[in-house]
Amino acid sequence: MNQEHDAGPGRSGVSRRNFLGGGLVAAAVTPLLTGQAEAKAAAAPTVDGVAQVTVRAAVNGSPVTVRVDPRATLLDTLRERLDLKGTKKGCDRGQCGACTVHVDGRRVLSCLTLAATTTGREVTTIEGLADGDRLHPMQQAFVEHDGLQCGFCTPGQIMSAVAMVDDEGGADSDDEIRERMSGNICRCSAYPRIVDAIRDAQQVMR
């Protein structure tokens, strides 16, 4: 009985000798691999013990490379690391729309977007809309219609409106504009003039 048990492979095709031999090799290799991973992690810059990641993206048409905490939001990275203060921090929980920017042409809430997810992508902020001294049609319409009061929400309003027209096809009525812009809150309640600005700007943009 012992001879059969110690003999060649059984039904599974694996003998006890081969199994034990493989286990010894794995036991010998695992510490080496673990040691390499630990050494690599130790060499990476850290913030509060968390290894930083490298983000390479195009921001307002210019290539940007920045090392950030993997937990860093796009909003904080834009404002604190890239000094693009036009994007506003409002509620910081995705409810007011003040932090709206474009990623690959689509509107996103930068306070809910990790900076690390933008590697290889195009990020556009309010600073990137104008062509030199020439305002974007949506910016110009907001000026002409006085579509702002305190101005805090205005960058997010404009970025959301531009994406609504360029990426989503625009709106066919004032009610549709209100519905599609409902994620952007204006505490000053300048909504009628915001709607007027968007209605006129999309006629130029289409």
Write down the mean pLDDT value for the chain: 85
Per-domain residue ranges of the chain: 45-128, 131-206
Fold adopted by 131-206 = DNA polymerase; domain 1 (1.10.150)
Q: Is the model's pLDDT at 19 over the cut of 70?
A: no
Tens of pLDDT, residues 87-119:
999 999 999 999 999 999 999 999 999 999 999
Residue bearing tokens 């493989």? 22
Going from the C-alpha of 197 to that of each of 57, 62, 142, 153, 182, the distances in angstroms are 31, 29, 5, 15, 15
Cβ neighbourhood burial of 3 (10 Å; 0-12, 13-18, 19+): exposed
Higher pLDDT, 159 or 14: 159
Tens of pLDDT, residues 9-18:
444 444 444 4
| Distance from C-alpha of 66 to C-alpha of 56, rounded to nearest angstrom | 7
Residue bearing tokens 């950030």? 68
pTM for this model (two decimals): 0.77
**CATH of the domain spanning 45-128, picked from 3.40.630.30, 3.40.50.1000, 3.10.20.30, 3.40.366.10:** 3.10.20.30
